[in-house]
């Protein structure tokens, strides 16, 4: 399913998104028309629209458009992308008419296996904005997979952990959950977990990962997923704290879309 402002998408309307790739988005797992952290997803869209387009976004309208993409029951993954089809490559400052593209796909079923990740010094453009320009992150993911890993874990130049290619990462140091304090996207799943489980924030460098008891990745599509390897440092593929975080997240009631 794909609709632009509630209408079937036409090729010419997609050209700016396909060829220029300027815009932002959020991805939500919708279960029986409910979304965990719906308000946070809408807040993200509103703020990112202000940053990228200098325009206000009617999140009530966004909600209506997203609702059209979901069945009465069952689970789907819905992506809301905001972009300006009239964007001129030579004059992006004139882009100020954001349109709303809603797409949906079946949601994943069983919990995926633990992630094995390779670190790389890399930072996304505007890390706090969920931008549509995914080239750099996907290239790093591809490089990690070509080297035998599942995904890429980003660090800054000082080897401080920041985020994954499309997910946040957290650790358990034996006494508390630790979220790295490096610059990253404030993922909705991470923000929800911070509301329901005690945590601390600290700089986590690659050299200190081996001393952690466990690590986990979070995003809206999978919830909480164990991380069992960071470069050569093995971590628990199953840990009570990760299980507790997963249950805590699953117990968060969804907001009606």
Q: Is 225 left (phi over 0), alpha (psi -120 to 50) or beta?
A: beta
Residues in a beta bridge with 202: 180
Say yes or no: 81 and 122 in one domain: no
Q: What is the pTM of this model?
A: 0.94
Q: What's the longest Cα–Cα distance across the chain?
A: 55
State mean pLDDT over 231-237: 96
Task: State the pLDDT at residue 189.
Answer: 98
Task: State the pLDDT at residue 174.
Answer: 95
Say yes or no: 47 and 93 in one domain: yes
Whether the per-residue pLDDT at 222 is higher than 70: the answer is: yes
Say yes or no: 167 and 97 in one domain: no
Say yes or no: 83 and 137 in one domain: no
Task: State the pLDDT at residue 23.
Answer: 97
Distance of CA 240 to the CA centre of its chain: 24
Range of the domain at 166: 115-252
Say yes or no: 119 and 232 in one domain: yes
pLDDT confidence band for 1 (50 / 70 / 90): confident
Report helix, strand or coil for 253: coil
CATH number of the CATH domain containing 240: 3.20.10.10
Q: Tell me the pairing of strands 223-230 and 115-121.
A: parallel
Q: Residue 157 falls within a domain, yes or no?
A: yes
Cα–Cα distance, 134 to 21 (Å, whole number): 9
Say yes or no: 94 and 71 in one domain: yes
pLDDT confidence band for 108 (50 / 70 / 90): confident
State mean pLDDT over 7-16: 89
- Return the DSSP state at 93: G
Whether the per-residue pLDDT at 110 is higher than 70: the answer is: no
Task: State the pLDDT at residue 111.
Answer: 76
Whether the per-residue pLDDT at 64 is higher than 70: the answer is: yes
């Amino acid at each position: 399913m794909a609709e632009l402002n509630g209408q079937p998408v036409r090729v010419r309307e997609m050209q700016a998104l396909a060829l220029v790739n300027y815009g932002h988005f959020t991805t939500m797992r919708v279960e029986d028309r409910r979304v965990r952290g719906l308000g946070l997803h809408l807040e993200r869209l509103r703020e990112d629209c202000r940053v990228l387009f200098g325009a206000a976004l009617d999140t009530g309208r966004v909600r209506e458009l997203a609702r059209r993409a979901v069945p009465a029951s069952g689970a789907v993954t819905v992506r809301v992308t905001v972009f300006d089809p009239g964007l001129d490559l030579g004059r992006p400052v004139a882009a100020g008419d954001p349109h709303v593209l809603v797409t949906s796909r079946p949601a994943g079923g069983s919990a995926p296996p633990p992630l094995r990740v390779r670190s790389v010094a890399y930072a996304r453009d505007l890390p706090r904005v969920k931008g549509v320009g995914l080239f750099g992150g996907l290239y790093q993911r591809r490089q990690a997979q070509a080297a035998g890993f599942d995904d890429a874990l980003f660090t800054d130049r000082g080897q401080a952990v920041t985020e994954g290619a499309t997910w946040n990462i957290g650790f358990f140091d034996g006494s508390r959950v630790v979220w790295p304090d490096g610059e990253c996207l404030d993922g909705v799943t991470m923000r929800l977990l911070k509301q329901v489980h005690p945590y601390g924030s600290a700089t986590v460098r690659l050299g200190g990962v081996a001393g952690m008891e466990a690590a986990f990745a979070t995003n809206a599509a999978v919830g909480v997923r164990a991380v069992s390897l960071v470069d050569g440092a093995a971590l628990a593929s199953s840990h009570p704290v990760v299980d507790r975080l997963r249950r805590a997240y699953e117990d968060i009631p969804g907001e009606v879309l």
